Structure formats: C-alpha cells, structure tokens
Chain A
Amino acid sequence: MEYVLKTNNLSKHYRNFKALDKLTMSVPKGSIYGFVGRNGAGKTTLIRLICGLQFPTSGSFEIYGAPNTSGDILRSRRRMGAVVETPSIYLDMTAEENLKQQYRILGLPDFSGITDILELVGLHNTGKKKAKNFSLGMRQRLGIAVALCGSPDFLVLDEPINGLDPQGIIEIRELILKLNREEQITVLISSHILDELSRLATHYGFIDSGRIVKEMSAEELEQACRKCVRVTVTDTAALATVLDSMSMDYKVLDSKTADIFAKPNITQLTLALAEQQCELLSVEEHDESLESYFISLVGGGSNE
C-alpha cells in the first residue's frame, strides 16, 4: 500500500508535557483518514508538525516519501493543503481576494481556477463581502478553499466541523467526500465527533495521550462495532459447523464464546447444536457503538 504520510516514533514535548509520545501512524493514499481523539490528545500537535509550523522533539515523519529532515519535504508540502484549527484567511479581504493572495504565494500566474474552487466550496456568490462578515461555516469553507489552491493531493483538516450548525456540517461533509471521490484527494481529518467521522472516514487512527492506540480501516471498525449475538457453548468447533451450514457470519472469540452477526432462531440453533453434542449455555445481544468502542480503546489501562 502506498502511503501519503508516515510517522515513526514522533514525539513533541512542551517542557515536561508530552503532547506526542512516540506516535507511529500511516495515512494510505486515496483514503479519508479519521484522526480520532479527545481534546488535548495530540491531534492538532501532529498536524502542526506535518505542516511545518512546529518541530518534532524526536522521531520522524515522511510526506510522499520525503523525510522531514531533508530539503525535499518542502517540495512534498507543495502537494499539501491544510486548515489548522481556525481557517487561515485575511478577514479584510473577499473570498476571491483571499484565493488570489494564495495563488500569488504559490506563484500561480493564472487566476482562472479560482471560480471553480469558489463554486466547489459554495462561495461563488459572496461578491464583495469581506471574510470578516462571513458566518463560521463560510469561513471554514473559505479556509478549505484556500487549502485547495494549487490542486493539492493531500488535504489536512483540523476539526473542520467544530462550531458549525447541522447544515454547515452536512455541507462540509459532502465537500470532503466530493474532493476525495472526484478529485482523488487524500484527506486527513481530525475530530472528536465520532458520529460525523464515521460517515466519512475510510481509515481511522485513534489517538490518546499523544500515542496511536489503534489504526484500522472502516471495514474493520464496522466489524468491531457490528450488532451481534454473543453465544457461549461447550464446543465452538461444533458451533462453527452449525453456523456454516446456516450460512451465518460469525467470529469465534475463544473455545467457548463466539459472536454471530445475525439473529439466529434459537430453537433451530439449539437443536442443531444438540445434534453435534454441543450445549448452548448462554445467549446475549451484543451491540457496540463507535463511541463505546473508542472508550474501550482509550479508557482502559493500557494504550499499547
């Protein structure tokens, strides 16, 4: 798999506080990588490091294969766009002027792409309205528009839906999905709003106390959070034979426990197991939400 961003034991300390503690993660190309963690977990710190706003205390990272210690990192950053915390926009300029300014910073002589970007983020009708008079959602979209100047391949968005109203959240979500699907832009999006992330992300990185607790794909997370019936039997091998014959999806947890990802007919299941000399000891519905999964990851003792 090709990775846009890879970090290796990346640490950032502010005096005695470890904002990042040997963080290792990989963002696959073409993904929407949901970077999940509580407030203060280290999400923004990581984004600041990869954007070149701050320097790591130890460890390293690569963007498009360029290590942070080499001069090539600057060339790799040219393929990046980012919105870090608050949108970086000139409040005394209009949306169009802001984009023109970013075009100049990038050294792009032709402003013809600006109209398309403004249309993409839904700010094409703002005319001479200054950014200081924009709503929070409009500013957020303008921040994304500025980040999109220069057609980046990798977009980094730090808490882009913070403070937005429901309509604004939907707009930003659709925009991110559009950019990922239509423009093939890899997106790293940090958030602590799990429900919203689950509608977007193809991959997840769970961070707590500056460390990655778990990285997984959306499919793996879905599996982990699927509704299931947890059964305890005397012999899971016999259970597996029965479930296979019933064409049911399941996962054996240990010699006596298994999760069945369907609603089995208990009478039929008991009879079928009895034929295999296997007893059904207990049945319970098991349902784990994304939130409870996250809590189970970060709330426990070990974060390894």
Chain B
Amino acid sequence: MSKLITAGFKRLFRLKSLYACLAVIAFQLIINIGGESGLFEGHIGVRVTSGNMPESVSDTMRDLMLFTADSHISEVSFLLIIAAAIVIGNLIGSEHSFGTIRNKLTVGHNRTEIYFANFIVSLTTVLIMLVFGWALIFGLALPLGAQLVSTAEKLVTLFLLNVLYSIVITAIFVFMAMNILSKSTTLTLSILIGGAALLLNVLFSSQLSQPEYVTPRSQAFDSEGRIISQETLDPQKNPMYIGGTRRVIYETIDTLLPCSAVTEYSGEVDVPKVITEVGELAVFTAAGLFIFRRRDLK
C-alpha cells in the first residue's frame, strides 16, 4: 500500500484544486480577520476590543463583537467541508475519468489497498487544509491584536474535534468518489452534500439555541450612548423556541450532521455527537469498501 500512497501524494501535490482551496481559505480569513482588526478600516470593518466597547452593548453582543482569534475557528470548519469535497472529488474522480485506476488494478494491487491508500492521501489533504487554516488564524489574528478567549485545554479539545470531523468528512467524500465513476457527478454531489450539511447545521443550531423564555429589557440612552435608565420586564415565552416532537427531530438531524460537534462546541464535548461521528466514520468506510470491492469498473 505504501507504493500507492507515495504515488497518491505525488499526484496530490500537483493538484491545482488543492492550492485553489488553500488560497480561498487564506483569502476568507485575511478578509475577515483583517476587517475585524481594523486593517481595512473605513472599508470593511471596525476593530472592537474590550477597551473600546460601548457601554450600551449587552454581554452577549459584547462576546460576539469582540475581536478574538477563537471566533474564526468555525470559519475554517465551514470552509473545510466544501474544500474537502472539491479536492477529494478531483483527486479520486480524476482516477476514474482518466482511467488510471485501471493501471493500479492491472498490475496486481487489490481493491482494499487502493481504497485505503486513497483514504489516507485524502485525509492528509484535509488535515493540511485544517492546519493551514488554524495556523493562519493564530499567525494573523494574534499579531493584529486579537484576544484569545479559550483556554489551552479548550483549544486542544476543539482541534481534536476538528481532526475527528476531518476524518469523518474524508470518509464520506472518499465513499462517494471511489464508487461514483463520473468525476463531474462526484464533484457535484459532494459539493451539494457538503453545502447542505453546512446550511442545515446553521439552520438547526440557530433554531435549537433559542431559549424557551426571554427576559425583555427596556433601556434609555443619552446622545453619547450612555444608559440613562434600565428596566427588566417579566420573562415571556419565546415564540422562536422549538419544542416537542419537532425539537427531537431537529436535534436528531443536527446530531447526525458531521460538522455540528465542531461548530457547536462551546467548551464541553457533546458525547452523543462525537459517538455519532465515530459511527458515521465506521459506516461510510465499511460501506464504501464493501461496494468498491464488488463494483465493476470500466
């Protein structure tokens, strides 16, 4: 299998889509971090730190508006799923479209070896993009004055969750790329599934995070934004809150989404989500291998 992995890496590092995806990740992070830091002041954003935060801003808003390195980690996780779909689709899809997968089988490599060699090369690709994204966040945000809110332990946990997430999305996209013989179909389906997973994750996490009750506050400000008076009203039922069977369905789907354990991480590891991800890894790898070992190739 080492021969196939060596050949796979040689091919990977010639893949233009890998560099294109790294460039997109870099561009996105530079724009967002640069904008938040005030690097592009007057054009894109305003640097907000705990020192210049207006008094009227609530604590929740304060957390959201603060210029931190941590807040950009989920951006990498979001970009990673689409980037992985594109790179893996191209890497393995071209083996089918060029017919070069035949060169491996004809000279006596077995299908299990070919599957796992492609899995390892694809996983390395995704991990390279993940590490690149993280390195860029800390290499760019911290020198530009961003704060680091998370503890080292929390960051390590989040990184490990991202590694697990990378393994799972690799398993899903390798499953598709190895068993769909058309590169364009593989790419289209992978990107659609990746995009759908992201959209559903954003949709469900925002809806599920709604509190059941809300406590309205009434505030009055002077011309300089200082609070003159403040009144807390009685708690009221939140009309946006999702309950009952609908909540169970939403939670189940959200748990099944491979990105949710990472994007919804708030300091505590969601064990059911992690177990689900490990299950998805096992199911997609076993199913992918099972189908590929029996599949007629052209």
Contacts and interface: CB of A to CB of B under 8 A. Distances in A.
Interface of A: 48, 51-55, 73-78, 80-82, 84-93, 100-102, 104-107, 146-147, 150, 156
16 contacts: A51-B105, A53-B102, A74-B109, A76-B108, A77-B106, A77-B107, A78-B108, A80-B107, A86-B99, A90-B98, A93-B14, A100-B10, A101-B10, A104-B6, A146-B103, A150-B107
B222 interface: no
B7 interface: yes
A271 B185 CA distance: 79
A27 B11 CA distance: 36
Nearest to A98: B100
**What class of interface size applies to chain B in its complex with A?**
20 to 34
A156 B107 CA distance: 12
B106 A55 contact: no
Contact of B106 (A51, A91, A100, A107): A51
Given A73-B108, A106-B107, 10 more contacts: A52-B105, A53-B102, A53-B296, A54-B296, A76-B108, A88-B98, A89-B98, A91-B98, A92-B14, A105-B104
A85 B298 contact: yes
Interface of B: 2-4, 6-7, 10-11, 14, 94, 98-110, 294, 296-298
Q: Which of A101, A105, A106, A156 has the most CB of B within 10 A?
A: A105
Contact of B100 (A74, A75, A89, A150): A89
B297 A54 contact: yes
Contacts of A93: 14
B102 A78 contact: no
A287 B190 CA distance: 61
A74 B7 contact: no
Contacts of A87: 99
Given A89-B98, A92-B14, A102-B103, A74 B3 contact: no
A48 B106 CA distance: 9
Contacts of A86: 99
Contacts of A75: 108
Nearest to A84: B102
A73 B294 CA distance: 17
Contacts of B101: 88
A88 B100 contact: yes
B102 A105 contact: no
Contacts of A55: 294, 296
A8 B298 CA distance: 23
Which of A78, A86, A89, A106 counts the most chain B CB atoms within 10 A?
A106
Nearest to A71: B110
A105 B9 CA distance: 11
A102 to B, nearest CB: 6
A85 B297 CA distance: 12
Contacts of A106: 3, 107
Nearest to B294: A55
Contacts of A146: 103
A101 B12 CA distance: 12
A76 B10 CA distance: 27
Given A53-B298, A77-B107, A107 B98 contact: no
Contacts of A80: 106-108
A76 B101 CA distance: 18
Contacts of A73: 108
Contact of B103 (A74, A85, A105): A105
A88 B102 contact: yes
Contacts of B297: 48, 53-54
B11 A105 contact: no
Nearest to A80: B106
Contacts of B98: 88-91
A281 to B, nearest CB: 57
The 8 nearest A-B residue pairs measured at CB: A77-B108, A104-B7, A107-B3, A88-B99, A74-B108, A54-B296, A78-B108, A53-B297
A105 B99 contact: no
Contacts of B6: 104
B101, B107, B298: which has the most chain A beta carbons within 10 Å?
B107
B36 to A, nearest CB: 39
A55 B106 CA distance: 13
A60 B37 CA distance: 69
Nearest to B293: A55
B261 to A, nearest CB: 37
Contacts of B294: 55
A134 to B, nearest CB: 13
B100 A48 contact: no
B219 to A, nearest CB: 62
Given A55-B296, A89-B100, A101-B10, A82 B106 contact: yes
Contacts of B103: 88, 102, 105, 146
A90 B109 CA distance: 19
A93 B11 CA distance: 10
Contacts of A102: 103
